[in-house]
Structure 1
Amino acid sequence: MTVRLPLLPRWLRWSAVALVGGFIFYTSVVVAPPATPIDDVKLTLIPLDKWRHLVAYAALAGTLVYATTDWSLERRWTALTVVAVAVLYGIGIEVGQSFRPDRYLSLGDAYANAVGALLVTPWYLLRRYVTFVDVRSGLR
């Protein structure tokens, strides 16, 4: 059994990657996110700011997964490329923050970024059950 999913045009998929990457850059390097009262509350073992990193990099890796879905590389190489790009982007953001007087490089944030990027790896096990259908073919 396969599930049919729409495949948007390549330019739109890569625009989504750029949008998510740009949002991460803007909120991480250009401006510091405002402190909120909930930032100081410890609801779990993982602080809220680490959850934000995890979700942001899962979103980045997720858009990369969708953008690269038509690549002809082997599944493992595509997965490795997607995760590596997201992790390296996270490391680059952390290094970029070190040059800002109000920000700092955090290994904890870099680990949270990497864990978020790794959350997309189960997709590559499920991918064989998915068929992508070009949305333009449905418009004709």
Structure 2
Amino acid sequence: MAVRFPLFPRSVRWAATGVVAAVICYWSLVTTPPAFSWPRTGALVPGPAVATSGLHATGLERLPRSTHQHALAYATLAVTLGYALIDERGLELRLREGLFVVLVVTGFGAALEVAQLSHPARVGSPIDAIVNGLGATAVSVWYGLDRRMEFVPVTVLPFLRERPGTAARFLERSADDPGSAGSGETENGTVK
């Protein structure tokens, strides 16, 4: 049984990817990201770092906090970019898309590490670039689960049909944007 997952219009998906990339760029070149800690529950919580962690059994708490931040940030970027590329193509192309996402996100991370070398308050690190690439591989989970997920255009979701307001009109797919929701196309390309 497939799990239903909302498929927002392409423009919204690409905007989300752009926002994530901009936030990573800002935190990499302008300021540092907010601190977070891993409590005993293993959940991610904002606040000061704590010595004891829910990750003590794995040894991951011994890694610097910035390593966790890099992996989480680039995993988020990879998943949003993978989501932006979702459409009705076959598995072979999906594998290529997955590799493309990993390469693009890893390259973006490496470029930011190089850019940090020119910033006096930041330190570019090859280790950080490697961690960025490892975080980018999180998209492989996305593509692995893709077969078990059914992407439903957001205008088909019941709560949007019941409220035909500004949000529903914004999310409707235009006729010239075949990758977005709302055009009435079925999976085989015919129009209802």
- TM-score, length basis structure 1: 0.88
Number of the residue aligned with 1:67: 84
Indicate which of 149, 152, 156 corresponds to 1:130.
149
Establish whether residue 53 from structure 1 lines up as the match of residue 70 from structure 2.
Answer: yes
| Mapping of residues 12-91 of structure 1, within 5 Å | 12-33=12-33, 38=49, 44-70=61-87, 72=89, 74-91=93-110
CA offset digits 1:3-27 (Å, max 9, x no partner): 1111001111101000000000001
Q: Percent identical across equivalent pairs?
A: 42
- Aligned: 1:7 with 2:7: yes
**Root-mean-square deviation (Å):** 2.3
Q: Map Cα deviations across residues 86-111 of structure 1 (whole Å, 9 max, x no partner).
A: 10110011011111111121011111
Q: Which runs of 5+ in 2 are unaligned?
A: 36-46, 54-60, 162-192
Per-residue CA deviations over 1:96-128 (Å, capped at 9, x if unaligned) read 111111112101111111111112212212211
CA contact (8 A) 1:5 1:131 kept: yes
Contact 2:78 2:136 in 1 (8 A): yes
The structure with the largest helix share of the pair is 1
Count of matched residue positions in the alignment of Structure 1 and Structure 2:
139
Letter in 1 for 2:14: W
Residue 78 of structure 1: how far off its partner (Å):
0.8
Question: Relative to structure 1, is the Cα distance of residues 91 and 4 closer, same or farther in structure 2, using a 3 angstrom cutoff?
Answer: same
Q: State the 1:34 CA deviation.
A: 7.3
Q: Distance in 2 between matches of 1:55 and 1:34?
A: 13
Corresponding residue for residue 123 of structure 2? 104
